[in-house]
Structure 1
Amino acid sequence: MPRRHHFHLDHLGHSITVNIRSGVSRDVEVLVDGKEVVHQRVRAGSSVLTAELPEDPAQPFQIRIHQPRFGSSVPQCVLSLDDVDRTMPSRLVA
């Protein structure tokens, strides 16, 4: 049965959300202010996704995800913005 994990941070007036659906395939979506900016299928292990905050000029950021290859451990999600890494808090979604 697939599991979904939800990560969220508010930063610089923007809402940044990462949703991961784990199972046979792993789909990741990144939302900024409720709008999807990245949707990608990833493998177990570590992945890096890039997107931008809608600023003038646009402000790029990275989402680093580490998903355990085995077991039921919760993935780790880190927002990297302005050369600062912020661990995104998670919660399991039924």
Structure 2
Amino acid sequence: MGRRHHFHIDYAGHSISATVETGRTVVVEILIDGKETGHGTTRDDHPVTVQVELPTDPPTPVLVHVNPAPGVPRCTLEVPGAEDRVMSPRPF
């Protein structure tokens, strides 16, 4: 049976959240400013990358990398031209 893990980061004035449901199939849901903007799936404990856009003018493409195993998943935010940022786990 899977578990749900939540991650968050504020970047460029936007709230970016990731929910990672682990199990045989890993499901990743990305929210930007409270709106679902992307999702991805993978099997077992394989990493998955979800591409989304920040609502800037023009939109800024970003990547959320999820490494679901071993143990607690890890999420990082990749923005072109900037250093990767680790998303903080949330306990809810």
Shared fold (TM-score, shorter chain, > 0.5):
yes
3-state DSSP of counterpart to 1:45 = coil
> Equivalents in 2 of 1:50, 1:84: separation in Å?
17
Q: Which residues of structure 1 form unaligned runs of 5+?
A: none
* 1:89 counterpart residue number: 88
3-state DSSP of counterpart to 1:84 = coil
Q: Which structure 2 residues correspond to residues 60-79 of structure 1 after superposition, within 5 A?
A: 60-68=61-69, 73-79=71-77
Shift of 1:36: 0.5
Q: How many residues align?
A: 90
3-state DSSP of counterpart to 2:47 = strand
> Equivalents in 2 of 1:31, 1:80: separation in Å?
15
Query: Percent identity between the aligned chains?
Result: 40
CA RMSD of aligned residues (A): 1.4
> Aligned letter for 2:86?
T
Q: Which residues of structure 2 form unaligned runs of 5+?
A: none
* 1:24 counterpart residue number: 24
* 2:37 counterpart residue number: 37
> Equivalents in 2 of 1:27, 1:14: separation in Å?
23
Contact 1:49/1:62 (8 A) holds in 2: yes
Where is the strand percentage greater, Structure 1 or Structure 2? Answer: 1
| TM-score of the aligned structures, taking structure 2 as reference length | 0.88
The reply on whether 1:56 has 2:57 as its aligned counterpart is yes
Contact 1:4/1:92 (8 A) holds in 2: no
